[in-house]
Chains A and B, each alone.
Chain A
Amino acid sequence: MKAFKGFVIKEFYHIFRDYRTMLILFGIPIAQVILFGYIITTEINEAGVAVLDNSKDAVTREIQNQMLASGFFKITAQLSSETEIESIFRKGIAKEVIVFGANFEENLRKGEGSDLQIVADASDANVANLLVSYTTAIVQNYNRQQMADMQIPMQIEPRVRMYYNPELKGVYFFVPGIMSVILMLISAMMTSVSIAREKEMGNMEILLVSPLRPIQIIIGKLMPYFLLSFVNAVSVISLGWLVFDVPVNGSIVLLLAESMLFITLALSLGLLISSVAASQQVAMFISMLGLMLPTILLSGFIYPTENMPLWLELISYAMPPKYYIIIAKDIMLKGVGLRYLWPETLVLLGMTLFFLIVASKKFKIRLS
């Protein structure tokens, strides 16, 4: 036991003395949360809009005011003819042009219906879609306000409510994903690299010759990274909460317990990688390509797996982060408990056991 303790202490020396390890351990998680939180956002904020107002009456002014007041738009140009639209888009002054037809207010009062055209720059399809739907919503809202006085008997009025994320904040969605990426990266990559380093430098020879049992070497290697990854999980959750107001509606204890399970899974994957990688470079390469990309692309972190072609969707079921993301999202945003999350938890548990057993079996008690 004393031998084991000495081994773990040595492992901590390695980590704390190497500034690159420290940077990866603590710099990357913080940078990722902040970058993803601020940059990858699906929200619209003061998008440039140009207006071609052929009517210039009270109603068109009111609609423009409501758009401005929403905070989503800012009017960057007033046009005088349709021929200007193209050049506005080309110059990048506006992403959307709103064209009010002539006699807008008059036609509205007469009940003949007014012409309102929305022209969007669809070179960025997602943004164009969002702009159009936001604009439509504002116009309809105005419409409804006017109708309210007129008492139209039959009318279907959908009331939309966005559950769990009423403001549709992107960061709510990303924090669980980032957690899975960070835990995967730190746990798997760092352990595989650190075991590969022992092999590369010839230290493994002495460790094997020593009375340390293989299981002690394995656990001694995993434990420091387990603790540090756990610290990381806690700091990502707190950072999300403090900086981006991402809530933890469910049990924080359950969330941390599930995180520990996921960390163990990633660590055993790292162990498995190290048993096939003879050098630090190879270990790094396998972790990056084999774990990082699938974690980001196939786990449902950024792109929903349901929309993928069937074969990719099937592959995504084999990605451990997929289950962790579901669990973390459900606990943080929906606030559900283990009663609803046991299938995912069981899958993670099964995968962890599988990798741990395979990795331990593959760990060599001799050279080659």
Chain B
Amino acid sequence: MNNRSIEIVELNKRYGTIQAIKNINLTIQTGELFGLVGPDGAGKTTLIRILTTLLLADSGKASVNKLDVVKNYKQLREQIGYMPGRFSLYMDLSVEENLAFFATIFGTSIQENYDLIKPIYSQIEAFKTRKAGALSGGMKQKLALSCALIHRPKVLFLDEPTTGVDAVSRVEFWEMLKELKNTGITILVSTPYMDEAELCDRVALMQNGEILSIESPDELKNNFPHDLWYIKAENQYKLLQILRTWEKTYSAHGFGQSIHFVSQDSQMKEDEIRQFLESKTCKIQRIMRIGASIEDCFMELMNQPKKA
């Protein structure tokens, strides 16, 4: 199974003065669930569009299933499934008509590949006569995924599939991806949500068109080089201000209702933090050591000066 499904070498793309992606090198194995994680404008969509033959790179090479994305684009288009970031179904067509349409243009039928989409499609099949425009966000997304899968692609590209979808549907969606992965399909998914990165086999953290790291979520978290403190205070804003002005602070970031803090002194004890904060009249509710999350890793990588 150690086949290379997607290979990217030295890929560059520029829009006017903006370098959308810079020197991307990436190899994805067959059957992998691979995540491209990064904020808006990181270059995720550009990379996916180059791989799906929709855009031409300025330099570098990319191939999917050993097919070059430029030279062999016609063959390649038959083997890939693509779900763009924007909702791309026909609103005036019913659920079933949408699915049947995408089946016919890929030269297949709903019946032929029903087994593959059944886990997903069966959830919305009750609404198959309803117009796609009248579906909820989560249902639209399930339909879009069914449409992207209907021709049994070998590689599936999903561009921010969970953006703008409610929390429950997001969880459900990732469950479906896990199931799909078991069928042997290679999945490349982009997302701005760090928590979703944990669900991938490997993730590439992207920012400003560059890949900062490519690791499995566990490796990424284990490689976090610092001790990380979870601190919760009554006044979170005040706490953050105090920590940011402390000369011993390496980094302090707000995470929901708490602060994730890293000291410059790797030997620092809980008491020292507590004492310092109390001397600044900050009422602490909780301090504890925690393991790093993907987001901590991302923040860390972003702050690091570029390695040569």
Contacts and interface: CB of A to CB of B under 8 A. Distances in A.
Interface of A: 2-3, 5-7, 10, 13-14, 17-18, 201-203, 205-212, 365-368
Contacts of A10: 90, 93, 97, 101
Contacts of A202: 84-88
B298 interface: no
B104 A3 contact: yes
Nearest to A15: B92
B80 interface: yes
B105 A210 contact: yes
Interface in B109-165: 147
A210 B106 contact: yes
B49 interface: yes
B77 interface: yes
A10 B104 CA distance: 11
A366 B69 CA distance: 12
Interface of B: 49, 52-56, 73-74, 77-78, 80, 82, 84-93, 97, 100-107, 147
Given A202-B85, A366-B56, 16 more contacts: A2-B104, A5-B104, A6-B100, A13-B93, A14-B90, A202-B88, A203-B89, A203-B90, A205-B49, A205-B82, A206-B88, A208-B54, A209-B77, A210-B102, A211-B106, A366-B54
Nearest to B54: A367
Contacts of B106: 3, 210-211
A2 B107 contact: yes
A205 B87 CA distance: 11
Contact of B54 (A3, A203, A205): A205
A137 to B, nearest CB: 59
Contacts of B97: 10, 13
9 contacts: A3-B104, A3-B105, A3-B107, A6-B104, A205-B49, A207-B105, A209-B52, A211-B78, A366-B53
Given A202-B84, A205-B54, A6 B101 contact: yes
The 9 closest A-B pairs by CB, nearest first: A6-B104, A202-B86, A202-B88, A367-B54, A3-B105, A211-B78, A205-B84, A209-B82, A210-B105
A10 B103 CA distance: 12
Contacts of B56: 366
Contacts of B102: 206, 210
Given A2-B107, A211-B78, A367 B88 contact: no
Contacts of B73: 365
A365 B69 CA distance: 13
A271 to B, nearest CB: 19
Contacts of B84: 202, 205-206
Nearest to A209: B82
A367 B55 contact: yes
A17 B104 contact: no
A13 B101 CA distance: 11
Contacts of A17: 92
Nearest to A364: B54
B92 A14 contact: yes
A212 B78 CA distance: 9
Given A366-B56, A367-B54, A206 B90 contact: no
A210 B77 contact: yes
A208 to B, nearest CB: 6
A203 B88 contact: yes
Contacts of B107: 2-3, 211
A359 B77 CA distance: 23
A268 B55 CA distance: 26
Contacts of B93: 10, 13-14
B157 to A, nearest CB: 9
A17 B97 CA distance: 13
Contacts of B89: 203
A203 B89 CA distance: 7
A10 B80 CA distance: 22
A202 B49 CA distance: 13
A291 to B, nearest CB: 26
A80 to B, nearest CB: 71
Given A10-B93, A13-B93, A209 B54 contact: yes
Contacts of A2: 104, 107
Contacts of B80: 209
A206 B104 contact: no
A212 B103 CA distance: 12
Nearest to A207: B105
B149 to A, nearest CB: 13
Nearest to A204: B88
B23 to A, nearest CB: 21
A208 B93 CA distance: 19
Given A3-B107, A7-B105, A368 B55 contact: yes
